[in-house]
Structure 1
């Protein structure tokens, strides 16, 4: 029997809750069970994690695998648990020393090829980790600068699961090509901020062809500014008041 645990962060609104990700391997028919109130996108992490581990050169354990997310009463949503689930499984399989994983918070989505992709809410997630006393955080490389804004936390940015495994096992870190330059941030795809198309690379020259523009909104200057800033930075936006009240 193998057991390992690491940590991730569940976002409830804009508040983060540190979640312990536990992996247990037992003899039996090969199966992967995920428990702890996961939503649909998190349940699908079973397939993403399996493919990412195999395509990163690892062996998927052919045993009865149970991954638990604790506390079970907190809803867990999104793909940001992928990295923690993968490492907990590899720890239970003794590919990574479980003792190394215990106090690390991991945030990131895994592509099927093992690339670590960005997720929303990195800053509040790292803030929650710091408030909980966690000192080490692993995030996608492209989000490392944002995560480093939180004082008192050591941040490791990685491009792939293969790189993270090498760091945790004290092996030579493989060189991974960075994401294609000029490629739009997937979190901003589909957003259009007046005057920001060329700067973000999301829309380029075709931005002026859209029919709708926030500049068409009469009044509500502070509300428009808040929406534009949130869209440009991929930040959360909180609207308060009954529908039609116009408060923000």
Structure 2
């Protein structure tokens, strides 16, 4: 139950992947229920009935100009580019993605790169859409302490150079910087101390904040120019008692 003021609303309802039946596409199991979207008017008490149904499979591979797979890249589907995404997927280690949609017209966006949004029309037959994605680079950090140990669950904040997000840690609406239309946010390192970001070309600031209860000091990179894929090892100093 929701309490909303009078007005016009667009609602999207999606099943949790754990509660959705699955279908196999290319040997990979995907949640098969399509998101349900409607526009409706609130002018009093309203009851909205929803029935989720299996959608049409949309699948493919994201690769770069050299034909290399792009793993860990988000693929979003929009009915309206000014609205919110109605479906999301992330490419696997081989650059493959898959999702299910109701028949209709949509915009397919790779990792918030709206300048290269692709218009698609989905009917009843499965649709394979392979995309050569130009532009954004993959940035890999490997966090280790000066004692040689990997640093898991380290918070890696990033923002375009000149933005104060990496110092303040305060999230801004829309996941973009207030100064420049570039992404900003944070990721956590995995058990091996690594993390991966996908960013458009530009100059960025980074701050590495290990768990407070851990043994390491935070560290910052004030300026790092990103114009191609890059991997960097970041060494954190031990706390001094």
- Which TM-score band (shorter chain)? under 0.3
The structure whose residues are more often strand, as a share, is 2
The structure whose residues are more often helix, as a share, is 1
TM-score normalised to structure 2 length: 0.24
TM-score normalised to structure 1 length: 0.24
